[in-house]
Amino acid sequence: MDKKKIIIDCDPGYDDAVAILLAAGSPAIDLLAITTVAGNQTIEKVTKNALRIAKLAHLENVPIAAGASRPLLRQAVTVAANIHGESGLDGTTLPEAEYKVDPRHAAQLIVDVVMREPEKTVTLVPIGPLTNIALAARIEPKIVDRVKEVVLMGGGAHIGNIKPMAEFNIENDPEAAHIVFEEKWPIVMVGLDLTYQALATAAVKEKIAEIDTPAARFLTQVLARFSENYKRSKGFDEPPVHDPCAVARVIDETIVKAVSAPIHVEYRGDYTAGMTVTDLRGKVPADCHTSVALELDRERFWNLIIEAAKRL
C-alpha cells in the first residue's frame, strides 16, 4: 500500500497533539513535515509543543518549521488558553526536545516540499488558522495545481464556536481562510458539523488508559485535561477532539464522509467574519472544488487513534 504523503500545519494544542500522534502511528501516512502557526497559543509555545510531541512520536527525521505569529491583516491571534492552558498543553508530561527548528519559514517549507514531491502526491492538513497556507499559495502559486488536496480542520456549515457562525481556526484569520478557499485546489472542510461527533467518551478514555505505551500515557493526560477544560469553559460533558478528524479523513475517507458543496469565507461582516458559508441546497456546480465533512464513523475513528497509540 502506498503511503499518503501529508504536511501537518498546526498549533498544538491538545487535539493537535492527538492528530500528530495519529499521523505518526498510522501505517497509511508518510508525514513529510510539520509546520506551526499561532492559534491555540503563541507561535513560540506551539512550536515548542510540536517539537516535544515529535520527540515522543519518534519523528526525528521530520522537519519542523515555525510560521506566522499573527494573522495576515488583523492585529493579534486570540489564543485559546481557556481550553489549552497557558502552555498549550497544560497538565501533560512530554520529553524535552533536542530537535532544531528548520530555519525556513513554515510557508517556505510547505512550498519546498510540495515542489519537491511528484505532482498530486502531497496533501496539506491544516488544523490551525490558515495563515501559513495562504502565504504558501502566494509565495509560489504553482503549489495550488501540484497539491493533491487540502484537508483542513476548521469552519462549519451550520454552527460556530467563537461566534454564532464562525469557528476558531477560520475566525482567527478569515482573510487567510478566504484566500485558501478561493484557490482551486480540492478542499475538504472537516468542521464542527463533523468534529462534534468525535467525542472523547469515558469508554474511549478507558481503552486508551489500558495501553502501556508512552504515547498512550500522554494521550490519557491530554484527554483528561481537555475534558476538564471543555467542561468548565464550554459545558461539554465529553470534549470533541477536532483535529485528528482531518488526519482520519486522509487515512480513510469512508470514516469521515464528505459531500460536495460550494464554500466561501465571509471576512467583512461585523457579526459574520469567519463564517464558512456552505451551500447545501443540492445544486452543486460542475467545477465545485470544495466539500464539507458531515458524517463520522465514531468507532472506526477511535480505533485508528487507539491502534496508533499502541504502535508508538
264 among known catalytic residues: no
The DSSP secondary structure of the chain, one letter per residue, reads -PPEEEEEEE--SHHHHHHHHHHHH-TTEEEEEEEE-SSSS-HHHHHHHHHHHHHHTT-TTS-EEE--SS-SSSS-----HHHH-SSSSTT---PPP-PPPPSS-HHHHHHHHHHHSPTT-EEEEE-S-SHHHHHHHHH-TTHHHH-SEEEEE---SS--SSBTTB-HHHHHSHHHHHHHHHSSS-EEEE-HHHHTT-B--HHHHHHHHT--SHHHHHHHHHHHHHHHHHHHHH--SS-B--THHHHHHHH-TTTEEEEE--EEE--S-TTTTTBEEE--SS---TT--EEEEEEE-HHHHHHHHHHHHHH-
84, 242, 264, 289: which is the annotated catalytic residue?
Answer: 242
Measure the CA–CA gap between 209 and 310, rounded to whole angstroms. Answer: 11
Q: Which of 149, 89, 90, 165 is nearest to 114 (CA)?
A: 149
Distance CA 206, CA 67 (A): 36
* Torsion angle of C-alpha atoms 16, 1, 252, 174, degrees rounded to 10: 50
- What are the φ/ψ torsions at residue 82 (nearest 5 degrees)? -65, -25
Question: Which residues are marked as active site?
Answer: 242
